[in-house]
Amino acid sequence: MKGIYSDQTSCYLYPEEPSIDDKVTIKLRIPKYLGKSIGSVIFTPQKNLKNYQHKPMQLSKETTYFYFFESTFKMPDRIVRYHFEIDLIEKGKKMFYDAMGIVENRTIHDFVLVADFKTPKWSHGSIYYQIFVDRFKNGDETNDPVSHEYQYDGQEVLKKDWNSLPDPKNGHREFYGGDLQGVLEKIDYLKDLGVETIYLNPIFVSPSPHKYDTQDYEHVDPHFGVIEEDSEDLNEKYKVRTTSIKNLEKSDEILKSLIQKAHEKGIKVILDGVFNHCGSFHKWVDEMDLYGEGSLHRDDSPYKSYFYWDGTQKSYEGWWGFHTLPKLNYGNISLWKYIADIGKKWVSEPFNADGWRLDVADDLGKSFEMNTAFWRFFYKVVKKSNPESIIFAEIYKSPLAWLERQCWDSIMNYITCMDPVSYFLTGMEKHNEHYKPELLKNAEYFVNSVRWALSQLPMNSKFIALNQLSNHDHSRWMTRTTQKVGRLGPKTHEEASLGKDLDVFKIGLVTMFTLPGSPGLFYGDEIGLEGWTDPDNRRPYPWGKESEENKMLFNFTKELIKMYKEHLALRKGSFDFLDWNGGYVSYASWNESENIITVINREEKEIDVELPLWLLDKKEGKIDLLFATKDFNLEDNSYNDGKKSLKIPEKIALVFKIN
């Protein structure tokens, strides 16, 4: 039963971001083919979850194919949850419609409206580029880590040649020399590609290349910044490099310059906040005795209460058991203030970063209550300092409970993008560690997965959520197209590209850019960089050694970004699936001024489809091709009677504009 629709964009909700006591109007669309109908909204304020109110809706508009109903209410304290009841009078039946669509054989997933939840306009559908700094570009060789500079996790660190590849077991001790100067040098490259927001993996002082084991939250790591004070004595080299005030302040200046130059180019910069745990080198623990006041060596350390200790007070709890990642104890209120002040520092003058990505955000603390209480505090402190900043969290499950409490603005969008797209197009789990053939070309599973995921994101969060197909934690999207199970060690670097499928790779990028959210490239995705999961996904960018295939994919990605930027309905618009079967799916993105349709055929054969354009309230007109992953000839671009028949070639993605 297609055609019933509502969402929380301006076409169906006004205002989109209401404050307490605002008059809020919500709309519902019911297709005329269902006959005479009446819509009602069923809603409950946060304080009265067991007492849903039933409010009739009035007919507000009639178009070629639809009736539109609306209802107005006053925004109560904090939250409203609502869904719709539809009385199909001529059919003698009633049905319910919620944030997932028509309710059949499942529980209700209410639309959620959060009062005073405001998000910056720049963040809606922004195009991200994630940079793992050590592997992106070496702009200053004088700050490179030196082989044997120090021991980390039981072994000495190594400096690697830029043209070599990561070792399967030593990735967290191998350095290539990438730095912030390298990012600065490539700002024009990113601008030319079309990037709007840079997301930097952690950049603060830390003994690893990944820097998720923070040593000092208050300064940029001199190995990424500036080393002026140094020592030739390997016994003290690391200490001098990472604790010299001159080095630390000069390194902070490099970040300030990078953000300033990015802003001049119209590019935002997001930092990575690792606040669930710190690193064993942090001054609060001080495994290497670099600072002289760490709780590992001193029972009277003022930082002892920042961690969880065993009965002997000699061994702390590590996150997931990792000794190098001491779990922080948020039962300590002084830790709350310190971490919130760090959040505030980097989004304020003189640095002016544009927000935070929060690492393993749902793990913080020992209870949901502690977790949400701290993040609400952090959120308020950061937003007060910089209202135009954003906060999004790493989480692999529904974030709704956190978003309702205004802990974050949004999430890394695994649930809407990386997981369902990967399974639909390749059958591969995001680490390349499992193959699920039953999910390959399973449009029903794909549609249901995306619909559920979108129901877990209030409208404010939906368009900020970071859509990715690759990142620092999972295998490269190109390697998933090989449909091989494996990882580096049992498999070789070369096997990460054997059997790769460029058609599927391109379809994936188009899907990522056309699903609701903010499309995000992991450095090198634009040229099809391959790699198994960590550490192979962190290969150095091959500057100056790009192949013809790399250059072709760069141009493809650049054209895709250009198309995306020209059509605001893709950045922030209503979204619904039109038709699907097997390896075929079509969906629409629309606003009051344009209608975009994406068609995906993952089948290995040509298929005949009939696009139901009446679902966009279009009876006759023209359909124009905006983008295709390979050659496609639209012989006749006219349509009539609300539908358009097309022959769709095998393994292709197409984007059309409906006029």
What's the pLDDT tens digit per position in 533-592? 999 999 999 999 999 999 999 999 999 999 999 999 999 999 999 999 999 999 999 999
Where in the chain is CATH 2.60.40.10?
A: 13-116
SS3 content of the chain, % helix, strand, coil (to 5): 30, 25, 45
Contact 248, 255 (CB under 8 A): no
Q: For residues 644 and 654, what is the distance between their CA atoms, to the nearest angstrom?
A: 14
pLDDT value, residue 49: 63
Architecture of domain 574-658: Sandwich (2.60)
Where in the chain is CATH 2.60.40.1180?
A: 574-658
In the predicted model, is pLDDT for residue 47 greater than 70?
A: no
- Tens of pLDDT along 622-655? 999 999 999 999 989 999 999 999 999 999 999 9
Burial class (CB in 10 A: 0-12, 13-18, 19+), 642: middle
- Tens of pLDDT along 395-417? 999 999 999 999 999 999 999 99
User: In this structure, is the dihedral angle defined by the CA atoms of residues 349, 364, 474 and 454, taken in order, positive or negative?
Assistant: negative
For the domain 13-116, what is the CATH code?
2.60.40.10
- Triad 198, 204, 207: Cα angle to 5°: 125
pLDDT value, residue 261: 98
pLDDT value, residue 102: 96
pLDDT value, residue 314: 83
Name the band, by pLDDT with cuts 50, 70 and 90, for residue 312. Answer: confident
Instruction: Looking at 75-179, list the stretches that DSSP marks H as alpha helix, in order from N- to C-terminal side.
Output: none
In the predicted model, is pLDDT for residue 276 greater than 80?
A: yes
CATH 3.20.20.80 fits 126-565, yes or no: yes
User: pTM for the full model?
Assistant: 0.96
Name the band, by pLDDT with cuts 50, 70 and 90, for residue 77. Answer: confident
Where in the chain is CATH 3.20.20.80?
A: 126-565
Poorest-pLDDT segment among 27-31, 88-92, 448-452, 518-522: 88-92
Residue type, 383: K
Name the band, by pLDDT with cuts 50, 70 and 90, for residue 1. Answer: confident
Name the band, by pLDDT with cuts 50, 70 and 90, for residue 51. Answer: confident
Contact 541, 135 (CB under 8 A): yes
In the predicted model, is pLDDT for residue 131 greater than 90?
A: yes
Average pLDDT of span 310-319: 89
In the predicted model, is pLDDT for residue 189 greater than 90?
A: yes
Name the band, by pLDDT with cuts 50, 70 and 90, for residue 458. Answer: very high
In terms of Cα–Cα distance, which of 487, 504, 505 is closest to 496?
487
In the predicted model, is pLDDT for residue 172 greater than 80?
A: yes
